[in-house]
């Protein structure tokens, strides 16, 4: 059997939308092989996939796919009718242009946005030989170019406290009203997001704990249009999509307090945004948002829902004339758990930080 060693290498680790992804693919073999052709394919796409049942373990089923770019080049064909691939060293350089408005690379538990190069060797009467490697695409999200990113934001949220959250049929015990505000909408990794406000306790129980969380919400969508079995749509899929939401808590802070019934109290929390990708809103089937949630604990049998304040995460900070933010290192990301077999872990997902 021939000693077959294919590989793919990019000229750099991170590319911007609109740039050309350049690199080389090569392979070495110490014996003649059989091959009909060698192709190099560049693909950029988003895929959502999750398991269909909760109790029966099944493989993730692909729910939706959106292709941003797909280009294929045939780089080798045989010189004889026997499809002989002579032994030796081979190298092919490639160059593929990214779309100007493509979303960033992202790897999630129920889907991904991925840009990759595939080296495909078509073996006659045998299994094709493939090697695939992904590259990070990260657009510059300049908060200075986003209307409203530097404006203060404020929310008033009125929540109802029940005797027991699992039995909403029981009479309510009053309301908890939250006022949340932040000096601006847009932030970047390494920057502190501050949220302050007031809790008005309209229940019959004191609030003894205020819990604040910095969260990331990933929404994976399945397109239902054209599927006959989904002609009758409920409120969740009224817009033609069915969604799966994954919420990740990036940081939690707890403040002990004593807010008696029918009184109010102020609060203030600050979170340093870790190295994360920017908010994603230009993908049809995967979106990524960030928000801060505030929750006042009114007791085990007197539950309320948290109040949330959405923020926007970019990677170029608002111009303020203040000192620059501390430098952020590249960090590894987690491979999409539902596609481990689809792409070997040669992909080191990197998050760039654009400082001032």
290-330 residue pLDDT tens: 999 999 998 766 567 899 999 999 999 998 754 455 544 44
Looking at residue 40, its pLDDT comes to 97
Please state which CATH number belongs to domain 4-140+334-339.
2.60.40.640
Pairing of strands 207-223, 263-272: unpaired
Looking at residue 204, its pLDDT comes to 85
- Residue 290: half-sphere exposure toward Cβ, Cα within 13 Å: 23
Q: How far apart are CA 45 and CA 60, in angstroms?
A: 17
Looking at residue 354, its pLDDT comes to 44
Q: Is 4 exposed, middle or buried (0-12, 13-18, 19+ CB in 10 A)?
A: middle
145-165 residue pLDDT tens: 999 999 999 999 998 877 655
Indicate where the chain has its CATH 2.60.40.640 domain(s): 4-140+334-339, 143-313
Looking at residue 174, its pLDDT comes to 84
Mean pLDDT of 276-287: 94
Q: How far apart are CA 23 and CA 96, in angstroms?
A: 9
Looking at residue 155, its pLDDT comes to 94
- Give the rounded percent of residues in the chain with a pLDDT score beyond 90: 66
Q: Quick check: helix, strand or coil at residue 108?
A: strand
Q: Which of 122-126, 135-139, 316-320, 342-346 has the lowest mean pLDDT?
A: 342-346
Looking at residue 61, its pLDDT comes to 82
Q: How far apart are CA 347 and CA 336, in angstroms?
A: 11
Average pLDDT in the chain: 83
172-207 residue pLDDT tens: 578 999 999 999 999 999 999 999 999 999 988 899
Class of 143-313 in CATH: mainly beta
Mean pLDDT of 241-268: 94
More confident residue, 341 or 270: 270
Looking at residue 62, its pLDDT comes to 81
Mean pLDDT of 101-122: 94
């Amino acid at each position: 059997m021939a000693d077959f060693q294919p590989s793919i290498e990019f000229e750099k680790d991170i590319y911007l939308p609109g740039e050309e992804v350049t690199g080389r693919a090569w392979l070495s073999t110490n014996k003649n092989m059989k091959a009909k052709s060698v192709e190099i394919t560049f693909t950029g796409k988003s895929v959502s996939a999750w398991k269909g049942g909760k109790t029966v373990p099944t493989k993730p089923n692909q729910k939706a796919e959106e292709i941003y770019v797909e280009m294929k080049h045939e780089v080798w064909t045989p010189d004889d009718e026997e499809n002989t691939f002579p032994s030796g060293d081979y190298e092919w350089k490639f160059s593929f242009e990214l779309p100007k408005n493509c979303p960033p690379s992202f790897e999630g538990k129920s889907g991904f946005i991925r840009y990759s190069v595939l080296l495909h060797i078509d073996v006659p009467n045998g299994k094709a030989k493939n090697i695939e490697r992904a590259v990070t695409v990260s657009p510059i999200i300049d908060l200075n170019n986003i209307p409203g990113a530097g404006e203060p934001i404020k929310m008033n949220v009125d929540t109802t406290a029940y005797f027991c959250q699992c039995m909403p049929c029981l009479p309510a015990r009053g309301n908890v009203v939250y006022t949340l505000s932040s000096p601006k909408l847009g932030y970047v990794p390494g920057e502190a997001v501050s949220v302050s406000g007031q809790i008005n306790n309209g229940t019959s129980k004191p609030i003894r704990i205020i819990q604040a969380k910095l969260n990331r919400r990933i929404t994976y969508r399945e397109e239902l249009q054209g599927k006959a079995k989904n002609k009758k749509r409920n409120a969740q899929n009224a817009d033609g999509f069915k969604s799966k939401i994954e919420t990740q808590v990036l940081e939690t802070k707890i403040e002990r307090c004593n807010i008696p019934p029918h009184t109010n109290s102020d609060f203030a929390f600050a979170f340093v945004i870790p190295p994360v990708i920017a908010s994603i809103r230009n993908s049809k089937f995967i979106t990524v948002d960030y928000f801060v949630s505030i929750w006042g604990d009114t007791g085990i049998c007197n539950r309320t829902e948290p109040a949330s304040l959405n923020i926007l995460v970019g990677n170029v900070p608002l111009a303020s004339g203040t000192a620059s933010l501390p430098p952020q290192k590249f960090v590894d990301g987690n491979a999409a758990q539902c596609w481990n077999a689809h792409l070997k872990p040669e992909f080191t997902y990197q998050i760039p930080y654009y400082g001032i």
